[in-house]
Structure formats: structure tokens, C-alpha cells
Structure 1
């Protein structure tokens, strides 16, 4: 049941036709948010919408598909889920439309074929790269790097936490609320410089998945009570 007292957003998922984008869309739609699936190709965005409707078994109110620019222009908060190879060019193309918005960067700088090896960009992390491209009027927040789409598309306890980094504490708090709406526990992991650790953990988790022949290794923060 949707909490009618909480703030609801229109979330534009850039590159939302991929598995992670659709997983986040699914969780946020269930929480009552509006979601726009964005893609470079309008037809691909519409197909992703149809796939989500089929998966959910009904057509959720507030779900739509648009090209990436239209999705960014229509949203309150933008979510970047493109592969790292297209990260810089996507942000540069959408820079004007993203001004003044909170931008949740879900991208991890994976460099195939050695995706289990941490390989960070010169800027330090994908989030820092995004902040440098977009400028100070955008509030870039790093989140959801360490959660697999299998957990997002599943039911029940995800058994995984989310570390949230960014320059603005206020923006981090908004994103932590959106993390909670996905059924996950979000933690304020501090300034954007800490994103190097968060993003690097993804390669470590991929390596663990490969070693143990699983698909959804994640992280938990322990030793902190819910009352603190």
C-alpha cells in the first residue's frame, strides 16, 4: 500500500531499458512514484514499458516511455543507468536538460573483459565524472551500484543495503528515501569522493559471484542499531 503522506516524484530513468533500470522502475512504481523509461530510441523505451507491464501483470498508473531527452525534461529526478561506455557522451548530450536536478548515478566504470577488476576513471569515479560534466547546479548522488537486478525484480527481503554518496547532504537524504521506497536500506556514505569505494565494490561482488557461481552477491552494514 502506498503511503499517502510521503512525497512522490516523477523519476526519469536514462537508459532504463536495461535490467537495472527496469528493476528500479518496478520497485518505484510499486511505491507509488511515476516512472519514465528513457532510451536513445523511443521504440525501445515503449518496448521496455510493455515488458514491465507484462512482468507486473497490470498497467501501473504513471508508467511511460520516452526518448532520453524527453524523459529528463519531464522528470523531477533523473536516474542514469547507461553502460559506462556511454556515460560521458550521454551526460554531455543531456547536460542542459539536467540542470538544477538531482541526478542519481547508478553507473559503474566496468571495463570489459576484466569486469571483476576495479578500474576507476581519472576523475576518481563515475559519479565524480558526472559532477564535473554537469556542473554545480546539478546534485549528483551515487547509489544502487551494489544491488543486482535479480534482487530488484524479486519479492520479499532483498537482503542487501545501498551506500549513498554525494556532495549535498540534502540530496543524499532524498535519495536515501527513494532507496527505502525500493524496499532496501540506504546509508549515508558521505561525500562524492567516497564513490570510488562504492563503485569499486561492484567489481569485487562480480568476482564473488563468479567464484561461488551465484548472481546476486550484495552488502550489508552491521553493528549499527536502527535507533541511531
Structure 2
């Protein structure tokens, strides 16, 4: 399995930091991106300290978003949905494989729910592809808990579902998923199915609140198909 250089945009947030840590722990080099390089460098130092003594770990460093992307082959979008389109439009993503784990969620007195994107015919991942037409955008890591990513070092007992219109792009995310779950990600189909994966995170949040857990998704029946 190849090692990747991954720019994590939103790398100072819980999801970005957690995924970046997992990638670096298993041999991938990461650059945590932020609008302010200093903020990213502080979090990168925290990740580096956590990686101390881990054999074969990759390198973690911090940079501005643009510099992080320039130094990477793969870009992970781990940013809030608020301001997503404006941010993505400003990033130099041409020629990159872009993995979106952005979840357009909203919260009210009844709990979490998915926001409607493009009248129900869109998703954050599809918006990113429209805004960065010269990039290859796939969706993955939507349903992985930030608490689980950073809270312990064992592989998470769940699956990462990957969607996209590029076989090669999906393979990158499928490979990176092994750093989180210990097994390749699951090819879930075309990019438009991000419309299902993104709001499904609201269901997991509801389960977590009810049962006081950090739930995930496990796909059964794959053993004979892999």
C-alpha cells in the first residue's frame, strides 16, 4: 500500500487532527492546514509528540492552507459546512485528489439533522467537485467519530465507506482508511451517494446521545467479495 502526503484542511479541528494523527501513525506524511500557520504548527507539534516512539510513523507539520496543499498529493477537507463553499473556492486544488468528510448538519431542540443541499440534489462533496473541477473529489470518513480517532490508538471497529466518480480517486481513500480501521475502505458507489452518507452522521449522533457511546458503521457480508 503506498504512502501518501496528505494536506488536512481543517487540521486544527477535532476531526482533522484525529484523521491526520491516524494517517501519520501508519506511515503517511501530513501537513495540517489552517488560515494561520502558527495555529497549525501548535497542533502539529501535539500530533508529533503523540507519535514519539511509533515505528514507521510519518512526519506531521503545520502550514497555511495553501502551503499545505502545495506540499501534498492528497487533500482532506475536514472543515465545518458553514463557509465551506467560499473556502473551497479559494483553495488551489487543481490536480489534487480531494477527500471530503464534510457533513452539512444542523441542530435544533429535536437534535441533529442533515441540511438540504441544492434542493436535495447535492452534497458537500459534490459542491467541492463543482467548485474545483480540475480536482478529483471523493467522499469518505463522514461517519468516523473524532473522539475515537484521537482517544485511543487501537483501530476502530468499523468501516469507512468511500464514494466517488473516479476509481483512482476512490482507491486513495480506500488505502488511507486502513490507517483508521486496519482494513481497506469500502467502495460505496458514485459521488452522488454522499447525499446519503453526509446526513447519516446525524443518525449516529442521535444514537450516541441515547446510548452514551461513539457509534460507527460496519458493513457485513464483504468477506467473500474482497
RMSD: 1.8
Which stretch shifts more, 153-162 or 28-37?
153-162
Counterpart of 1:26? 21
Which stretch shifts more, 148-157 or 73-82?
148-157
1:78 aligns with 2:75: yes
Distance change (3 Å), C-alpha of 1:61 and 1:174: closer
Q: Secondary structure at the match of 1:165?
A: strand
Distance change (3 Å), C-alpha of 1:53 and 1:204: same
Distance change (3 Å), C-alpha of 1:50 and 1:115: farther
Q: Equivalent of 2:215, from 197, 214, 217?
A: 217
2: CA distance between counterparts of 1:140 and 1:160? 23
1:50 Cα offset (Å)? 2.0
1:182 Cα offset (Å)? 2.6
Counterpart of 2:191? 192
1: CA distance between counterparts of 2:87 and 2:98? 13
Equivalent residue pairs, number:
219
Counterpart of 1:3? none
Which stretch shifts more, 83-92 or 110-119?
110-119
Q: Which runs of 5+ in 2 are unaligned?
A: none
1:21 Cα offset (Å)? 0.8
1: CA distance between counterparts of 2:111 and 2:172? 30
TM-score relative to the length of structure 2 = 0.90
Counterpart of 1:148? 145
1:118 aligns with 2:114: yes
1:86 Cα offset (Å)? 2.3
2: CA distance between counterparts of 1:44 and 1:139? 28
Deviations 1:145-192 (A, max 9, x none): 101012222222411111100111121112101111333441100100
Which stretch shifts more, 78-87 or 178-187?
178-187
1:61 Cα offset (Å)? 5.0
2: CA distance between counterparts of 1:175 and 1:165? 9
TM-score relative to the length of structure 1 = 0.89
Q: Equivalent of 2:159, from 147, 158, 161?
A: 161
- Kept after mapping to 2: 8 A contact 1:120/1:196: no
1: CA distance between counterparts of 2:199 and 2:192? 12
1:132 Cα offset (Å)? 0.9
2: CA distance between counterparts of 1:115 and 1:50? 35
